[in-house]
Structure 1
């Protein structure tokens, strides 16, 4: 894959014929974001082994390629962008009550991202730019709120 405007729009990967692979993603999002991407995907693999279907999906020219973790419903999705990435979490009604109780404990902009998020018929859609280690830590806490880890409790 080449990094040119024919495959990206607003820094998203939009060519439906060019499904990304790990090597391309790490080059596209950069070393710091790549480290956080690895940290979060390894967290999911370690604490939820063999739980989720992990699949690259194409969301059209607006959203481009994204990596989805899903069992019966979506757990989370990773949206790679040039120099960064975002994580989408959808919280149902019961989960929203738990998140509301946890909000004061979150240490990053995740709190305001959650408060600004739009609620749809299937839940509150929270899009989080993973731009610091604090954000990655808050995302891990939210993932554990969405689903109890199958293996171990993280530090």
Structure 2
């Protein structure tokens, strides 16, 4: 039985890895533009460092695109009409976040404060709803791993 799609529903068809066309159709043009910009920023800022890897997290979590070298860098979470980015902040990154606490937007600080801390860090899932959100996520990523190129 097919249910009506809701904003935030994940791509959950396990039979085939999503391609750019599927991601674009699922997200819609405005959100897909953030997807393209973010992927381009990662490639320009960390040239050749990451080989993005599609991972399937089950029916509920669906497909996500993970960027990882030895440690996880970030995971892009394509959803119906929504893009979120998962960034895990370990102890060092949390200290850096706290040192800059008042330079982040109130929405990000609230998300940070409400996110449970696990032994390996805080798993922040940040929705990208605007250019400001995009900028803040790239700042988080740069804080986690300094960029290799100006981007």
User: Match of 1:36?
Assistant: 34
Aligned to 1:123: 121
Provide runs of 4+ in structure 1 moved above 4 Å.
Answer: none
Q: Are 1:148 and 2:146 matched, yes or no?
A: yes
Provide the C-alpha distance between the structure 1 equivalents of 2:140 and 2:11, rounded to a whole number of angstroms. 26
Select the structure with the greater relative contact order (CA < 8 A; seq sep ≥ 6).
2
Number of residue equivalences: 150
Deviation of 1:62 after TM superposition, in Å, equals: 1.8
2:78 alignment counterpart: 80
Contact 1:54-1:69 within 8 A present in 2 as well = yes
Task: Give the TM-score normalised by the residue count of structure 2.
Answer: 0.91
* RMSD of equivalent CA atoms: 2.0
Aligned residue for 1:87, secondary structure, equals strand
Q: Which runs of 5+ in 1 are unaligned?
A: none
C-alpha separation in 1, matches of 2:22 and 2:110: 31
> Is 1:56 matched up with 2:43?
no
For residue 31 of structure 1, report the CA deviation from its aligned partner.
Answer: 1.4
User: Where does residue 45 of structure 1 map in the other structure?
Assistant: 43
TM-score, normalization by structure 1: 0.89
Paired residue for 2:132?
134
Gaps in structure 2 of 5+ consecutive residues: none
Which whole-Å CA distance do the structure 2 matches of 1:32 and 1:106 have between them?
A: 24
